[in-house]
Amino acid sequence: MKKIKLILPVFLGLVLSFSSCSKDDDEIVDPGDDNSGEIPVEPNEPELLELRNYSSGQKVMMQTFYWDVEPRHEWWTTLSDKVEGWADAGIDRLWFPVATKGQSGGYSMGYDPSDYFDFGEYYQQQTTPTRFGTRTELEALIEKSHNLGLEVIADIVINHNSGGGKEYNPYRDKDTWTLFNEENGNASGWFNRNYENFYPNSTSPYDDGSLFYEETNLDHNQEYVQDWLWKKENSVAKYYMNEMGFDGWRFDYVAGFEPWVVKAWLDEVGGFSVAELWDGNASNLANYVEETGSGAFDFATFYKLDEAFDRHDDLTFLERDMLWKTHPDKAVTFTANHDTEKDDNEDNNISVENKMKAYAFILTHPGYPTIFYSDYENENFQAEIQQLIEIHNSLAVGDIEILHVDKDEYIMKRNGNNENPGLIIYISTGENTKRRNVQTNWKNVTLLDYSGNSTYIPTSDENGTASLEAPANGYAIWSVSK
């Protein structure tokens, strides 16, 4: 059994050794038949800790959009009505959609970038506002977010371009849509481009094999492209940060260009950064963050959650390699995003019935969790996600130990520290309530489920052993009471 363990100072009688004491793996306990260690409900019933008095030192990020958001042209104002509630819930960063004009104009989600400096102020691609609204509305949203203490993260697409004018391209010996100027998809007049700035060209006489828009795949080796993307004072990176007020970057499709590009960008302008390297191999993700200095979406965790809860229905997959295990400060964990939740995506998502268990996992484990807009705005999920965020922001502290794992049970402990008790999460995919004796860090104390999914009230003994519970096909998050 794999363990990640660090001996920490004593808190509430912290024990310095780990042992597992459990009932038979297959035993299902009827809560009414086992009163060992349980305190009858009395007038002086134990109370939950005031979580606002504790801090894990980290909050969570909100992805503020889904694919093909509606209503078109009103998204910035829609978000403006929500940011205060998100700040109150414990969010500290907002990942915005691609904010500039794409080839599809008012229908574009921004991943077909045309003009990097048109935030909804130039009439081109048959519209002035972007799908999300006008520049004025965006600037007001950024200002409001900053006033609430929220950072705003720009989605940046620098692999491919789309929506330019047609010109003869001698390197492909045919016409290509590679002319970007004031009359052709780049009304701002900044960062004009032609076939010389895309693969192949006179300085890079080869096709780099891009999967997207291969004829308009930017050549980042060119000084001109580097100047306009991140080096010049009015480059994309510096303009977004200094003029628009963005605080960081979500780099789209980084498999389409070399890692040194992201490193050079961050060396020049800094800011929070997360890369979309769609790769479920934890080692590949680790290599990328080491090479670039950027964070990365933890696709390894996403796929392990999918395999554990859906594909294989086997929680032992939660023991396997994930980016947060080696690079917790660089792993941006998630359970859903605009791509995984597309209507036509059946192979790369976590099912609705298992999604909250997946959120419980990422919001109790190391890494920087991301909440998906559509999940948070789902009235069936919102209160539960808010509670998980509060638990994450307060009690998700300390190194972890996996106390038990089998096909339908997973129990993990966060060890806490001198000032913070930490937590234990117990996930079950079984059809009945489960109980298991585990070694806690808490001696002779009453424990409560902070998720609200269990009303069971156990106590730990003088050695810190306690019988904890998980509801059928659900989870509980245990810590000490007042």
What CA–CA distance (Å, rounded) separates 259 from 139?
31
Active site residue 276: yes
Residue 197 assigned ligand-binding role:
no
- The reply to whether omega before 471 is within 30° of 0 (cis) is no
What CA–CA distance (Å, rounded) separates 195 from 167?
8
Neighbours of 377 (CB within 10 A): 12
What CA–CA distance (Å, rounded) separates 237 from 219?
17
- The reply to whether omega before 458 is within 30° of 0 (cis) is no
Q: Which two tokens stand for residue 271?
A: 């800011």
**47 backbone φψ class: left, alpha, beta (φ>0; ψ -120 to 50):** beta
Residue of 155, 276, 408, 449 marked catalytic: 276
What CA–CA distance (Å, rounded) separates 366 from 475?
18
Active site residue 252: yes
Q: Which two tokens stand for residue 257?
A: 């260009």
How far lies 72's CA from each of 64, 134, 189, in Å? 15, 11, 26
User: What angle, rounded to 10 degrees, do the helices at 259-269 and 282-292 form?
Assistant: 40
What CA–CA distance (Å, rounded) separates 34 from 456?
11
Chain-centroid distance, C-alpha 221: 30
Q: Which two tokens stand for residue 33?
A: 């038949």
Q: Are 171 and 195 in contact (CB under 8 A)?
A: yes
What CA–CA distance (Å, rounded) separates 324 from 99?
29
Residue 219 assigned ligand-binding role:
yes
According to DSSP, the β-strands at 434-439 and 465-470 are antiparallel
Residue of 112, 208, 252, 401 marked catalytic: 252
- The catalytic residue positions are 252, 276
Positions at the binding site for Ca(2+): 159, 219
Positions at the binding site: 159, 219
